[in-house]
Structure 1
């Protein structure tokens, strides 16, 4: 049998008391003072066994000296049988008392029992809501012993700072709290966070599975969301053995198979540290531990290595007759939900993983977006939650303060500021908008590096980018020598396929006025040659487009008079013309008119003005002071007479 340490005088007095009194069984009256001594989660005692608070009461009426304490153990002798029975009756209550605290356990609803609590816990402080110098009061737990609780009374609790209530649903695989549905409804209506608990009886894995299924079925019947915290109340002594961890694992697996993925574990301090329950496996931050100091004070932070601490069963709320079990919530799970407590944050993150949902609530049944759609975008994080599933969720806001939803932090990377994170990039862009600033800083926009007006149409290499919280993308620009030029808003550039830059439409004519220049078929890698200006010297072509290469050179895209593309030419090797006549090319040579019927033109751009005809000047001599190699392929001389008077433009085919 079990052993307890007790004062000898107390033991004798208790024995006499047991012989002279009868403790009949009776149901708890929620309006009586007796009902004020609630057990952890609504348990009751055997009709043949007095509550252990009897010991406390007797201790107060006897000599409290510790010098005469002795260990009393049950033996088979007749002379000690009455004492042994008395000790066993005290032990049957399963509440263990120490010098400065008590540990509740073994309080089942299996059978209606006497609750002689008035006699029991007189050494434990009665605590009233609102008292100074008490531990924090975050949530309560209730069961059938608390019977009906109105919405108004739940609101009273809320007014005293209570945010959550854990409601007993089931016990074993047979018992249901008859008040559970009403308690859930009224607590929810009052704005309290509702969690549920099951008083466990299992001693085998199959039994655990059966109890879990029973618990889940009632939670479903009572329409509790799948995100509800489902507490396993472990306080039966028969469960405390090497099978506790595997049996509890079976319970949790069955619970999760029904969609309830947020299990939690309640037990007293001695159970939590017994070694039979694997704290490392189930997680200390999912454990709710009971330990009742006789005089709880605000300075106490007991069991803060766990998620929550139940610090008294003698908590009274003015206007409500019976007492409650009261707990401090270190994690915030049982006063807020499985997401835990809001933790203030002031930082920026960039979305760096796709296929994550952005949630509108922690029931995880409604989304606002997917990270696939907002990949690489940056958001402000004003707060976060450390969910009991082990994940951290950020509360995201855009630059206008609009809330965007909750996102698993695993899908993000923290940024040093509103610019977001550096994202590697390897591309080329051409500056195609004037008046854009090149910034040296895009966190506070406090430093300017230049302006696109002076760099208009130039091409740069982009080695990285930032998706700013403002929604703008900023490229980090480098010139062809690797010199950093600053950050530019992507809206002010045009992306290029390579270092040649972006195609820019052009409509002009040029004449090839330098020999030895290559016409390229490719100016990205300069891997293909189309010809050479030596063979095309002084010919005129139409330019339909151009590239401002990252090297600094401009390349024209040339077409002949039949629309055939001839290649890319460095603009340094050409002379721009005013029209299809080509560029003026100076010469000084005499020519004789050898053909009749040729027009002498005043304009060879549009051939819109005639100056005469060669028929009337046949065989006459003139001086050609200049020529044009027209886009059409013809060469036109600019003719002057012997007096230096300009006569017009004539096709060289009409002369010798």
Structure 2
């Protein structure tokens, strides 16, 4: 497997002459005269430069030192494994390859040709330790599926106790969700790093499995090399039939001794080579090759969810939906490439609108406070609104800039100046005093300039600033009356109670009215009720 090699001299297979007993993977066996010669470093191999959880770049191949016993030369003419093309009938049949980040150069056509050569499954490295996510995994999974291949995944483990196993399980679950992989995905724990060589590694692996179970991922298997010190312990967490064993003969001949040996011992699959190549692209370099004994690899279930939610994706007939989608009466937005659910402010290109999606992914409507700023979204379409807007449930007119944020204070809108309450954002109407200076905003909320008649009073406002310069007394003459009720004087309407014109807000005949606080004249249009801090329409 294209990961870190774990080597020490006490794991090397000791070979002598034919029919001589040897030590391999902790078991005594006898090699017949026609047995394959085993590579002394019968452990996972290859080159892969990846980033560990601390951000350190490690070239794993540089940490490997091959140790050979001199007498091995008596057994063979070559000290390296055969390099051969995938599909070559002289060698053990290849059912699966595994890939990591440095094999990101494999194209969709490569996967299709691998399938034509008999490959059925691709096992993709997803994660490592507590912080690494294979950046090529998404594309590798997608290409393999499009080529008609099955997909399994693996996590390169560095844990050695329950706590670290729990941490790495959470990290892998997060990576699986980010990649949109469903709960049936076949997951291998890759047990080879020397950091795992601890008598508590079984507890760590069981903790890793429990964490994945809690996240909904329950299809577990183990990858381990034959000479791994705690092989039996890690295998016991899933059983031999769910173990993918690694051991590399120099010439893994079809139907050969080790192929029969590992099959008869009940292992699920065997990674028998790290030096296979694609015949059509020999220059690409070596690939790991594995054979399946019992369907562990070739019967890997779908990595997708058939229907419904899984993680932050929603599936229909096994495919993650993209774009806008209504689910149970609520609108969601999914990334057009990955299918991941989106939240926050989002541009919906096909409808040319900006919408807001809460942390649960659901589209929001009406007024919304986002990062301390107020926005308004259409109650039907969810589209973000801009410009002057009537907020019906609060009986106010507000102004939203081109970025959708509510504006306050003095604002120039087109050719007019308007004022919006510093607290509520409500448009102001009528008289306003700022810094000791008086201004007037008409029924449309526009600041007035020059000569104006307001409630019968002649007013002069600065032609540039709108500041009140002079004001005459109202010329409305209201004669006292003894009766109560409505009266019209000089074109203005008044309401009398006990012979006196009422002012301010009044409830008359079940309806609310507003009368000028100075003259008592009835007001109409948008009006600012200062004592209640609201704008009303009469």
Specify the structure having the higher radius of gyration (Cα).
Answer: 1
TM over 0.5: no
| TM-score (ref. length: structure 1) | 0.36
